[in-house]
Structure 1
């Protein structure tokens, strides 16, 4: 299978808040919107926010099945930017790297990760 462009579809209850979060707070480049969905560039892939879904419960990070990961050059600096925009970010340091966990308005988990050489995937 040859993938032309990978993407993630995020079904959400709080559509407008999530669109604003990923556009204004996270800073993803806007691609397009139509009929209850908005699409952002996600580092060459896409993140599509789609409305009309009910979130059943607040999810803690240990019970979630998916985390939206943002590999960045400097986790602590990027976390400081998000914190200055009102996002609660928890930094954790491990032997294998640094992560910063945070949630969007619909309680979806996101994570900053330092871009380390052992994590770079080349075609």
Structure 2
């Protein structure tokens, strides 16, 4: 099997808000979008892979538990302090957590999916 490109599909309830979140906060370029009736998808470039956001998900805006969504998206950054400023400027109340393995900012997207930003 020859794999051409890897990807992640994230089904969401708040589609437009989630697309804006990943596009605007993280600067992920849109590769393409499609709509078929009530179904929508937008594919964003996510490093060497892609993040496809699709409708048909269920939100928990207070944040999904690991049982509700075992996946956590990770963004590695060169400057965690600058990343925190960007997150706060976007309107998200966040802070840096220090761990033996590094520093991380834990937030959720508009659907409540877990997102980590790591130094």
Q: Which bin holds the TM-score, normalised by the shorter protein?
A: 0.7 to 0.9
Distance 1:57 1:87 in 2: 13
Q: How many residues in Structure 1 have an aligned counterpart in Structure 2?
A: 114
SS of 1:10 mapped into structure 2: strand
Unaligned runs of 5+ in 2: none
The CA RMSD over aligned residues, in Å, is: 1.9
Distance 1:112 1:67 in 2: 10
8 Å Cα contact 2:7-2:49 kept in structure 1: yes
Question: TM-score with structure 2 length normalisation?
Answer: 0.84
Equivalences for residues 98-113 of structure 1 within 5 A:
98-113=103-118
Question: TM-score with structure 1 length normalisation?
Answer: 0.82
Which of 48, 54, 57 in structure 2 is aligned with 1:50? 54
Deviation per residue, 1:67-117 (Å, 9 max, x gap): 100011112211211211112223111111111111110000100111xxx
Say if 1:82 and 1:59 are closer, same or farther in 2 by CA, change over 3 A.
Answer: closer
